[in-house]
Amino acid sequence: MKREEFLSRLRDAGLLLEQRERLYLKRKVCYVLLNAPWTVLCYYAEELSLRAPLQVVQTPTYSWSERVLERLSIPNLMSQRVPNAPPDYYTCPFRTSKLDRFLGSDNKETFFKRTQRHQLLYEILARTPYGDVTRGEVGVDRLLSEEEFTAAYPLHEGSYEVPRGVSSDRLSVRQVLFQYWARWGSWYRYQPLDHIRDYFGEKVALYFAWLGFYTGWLVPAAVVGTVVFLFGFWLVTTDLPAKELCHSDIIMCPLCNICSHWNLSSICLTFKAGLLFDNGGTVFFSVFMALWSVTFLEFWKRSCSCLTHRWNCSQHQEVEERPRPEFTAMAPMTTRNPVTGAEEPYFPESQRLRRILTGGAVIVVMVFMVLMFLIAIILYRTIVSIVIYRAQKSFVVLSGLDKLTLHIQTYFMAIPPAIAI
C-alpha cells in the first residue's frame, strides 16, 4: 500500500515511471525506472540553485610531484594522457528565465550533468510523502528502512568494456575510467580526477583526491621509517652493552621470596627488542612524523582549496546547503530567510517548543537510565568485593590452622620411639 502510494505521488510530481520484472534466483524482482522530464529538471534545479555553465575556462592542472620531477628533469612515469578531459566552466546559479544565456542550453539531453540529474531525482524521492507527514512518512529512505523497497540507486550509463577498433576519443566517461583508472596496471598513475568528478560527483572525486594525496605523502614517511628500522637492526648487532649482557655469566638474586636465582643473559632477547624499537633513531622518527603530519595537513588544505575552487563547490556548505528533504516535506509553512532572501521551510514557535520539550524529556530519561545502571554496577562491584574479601580472610585462617596441624604431626613423627613411650 505504501509503495503504491509513493509511486503515485511520484507520478503526480511529474516523473515518468517504467516497471520491469526479472527472475533472479527463482525470485521475481520488480524494477521501477524513473525519468524526469525537462520541465521537472528545470524547476528543481532552480529551487536547489544548481550551478550551470556560462563559459569555458582553461585551467592547467599540475600535481606537486609532477612539478618537482619537472624541475629536477626526471622522467615522470606516473603521468598519462587521459582522453576526453571534461572542460571547466564559469558557472552561476541556474535560472529558467535566463536559460538562453547558459552554455549548451540548446541541447536538453546533455545540459544537466549526470550527477546533477541524480541529485535532482534524489531530491524528489527524498521529499515525496507516502502517508501521514506528521509521523515522518516521507521519502524513499524511510521506505527502505521499512523494507518496502529493497534498494534505490542510480544506473550506470552504457557498458564499461572498451569495444575493439574504437579510438580513445570516442570512449564514454565510464569506459575511460575503466581503461585508465580502475585497472591494476594503473595503480602508479595519476588519477583522472576530472573524469571521476564528471561521473561520480565532487564528493567522491574529493575523496579519491585525498586518498591519492595521502598515498603520495606516505612515501617520504615510509622511506625515513625504513631507514630508522634498519638503523635499529644495525645497532642491535653492534651495541657493546648488548653483547656483554648476552654473553654474561652473572647470577642475579631472586626477584621474590619463592623465586630462584637467574642468569643475566636470559634477558638478552628482551634487551635487544627494546634496543631495536627504543633508540635515538626512533626519537628522530617521532619528531619527523610530527612535522610531517602538520606539513601534510597544510598542503592538503591548499590542494583541496584549489580543487573546490576549480570545481565551483568551495562555498557549497556555507551558502548553498539545502534543508533536509524530510524536514522540507514535514514543515507546515515557509518563510523568507532575512539573510539570503530565499523561501525556506519553517516551523512555528509552538511546534518547535513541543519538539524541543519532547526531545529534552527523552534525553533526560536516557541520562537517568544510564546513571541508574552506573550506580547498580558500582554497588554490584562493591558487594562482590566485600564477599570475596571475607572469603579470602576465612581461607587464610583455615590455611593457617592446617599448617599448624601439619607441623604438629611432623614434630611427633620425628620423635624417636623410645622417647615417645
pLDDT at position 328: 66
pLDDT at position 329: 65
Q: Which is it for strands 251-252 and 262-263: parallel, antiparallel or unpaired?
A: antiparallel
pLDDT digits (tens, 9 = 90+) for 283-307: 999 999 999 999 999 999 999 988 8
Verdict on whether the full-model pTM lies above 0.95: no
DSSP 163: P
Q: Where are the alpha helices (DSSP H) in 49-129?
A: 64-71, 114-127
Residue the block writes with cell 596441624: 405
pLDDT at position 70: 83
DSSP 239: -
pLDDT at position 131: 83
Task: State whether the Cα torsion 302-307-312-317 is positive or negative.
Answer: negative
- Give the Cα separation of 281 and 292 in Å (integer): 16
Backbone dihedral angles phi then psi of residue 134, each to the nearest 5 degrees: -65, -20
pLDDT at position 419: 37
Residues forming beta bridges with residue 262, ordered by sequence position = 252
Closest by CA position to 17, among listed 112, 124, 133: 124
Q: Which is it for strands 333-336 and 251-252: parallel, antiparallel or unpaired?
A: unpaired
Q: Which residues of the chain have pLDDT under 50?
A: 317-320, 395-401, 403-404, 406-421
Closest by CA position to 91, among listed 314, 339, 323, 304: 314
pLDDT at position 87: 87
Separation of CA 104 from chain center: 36
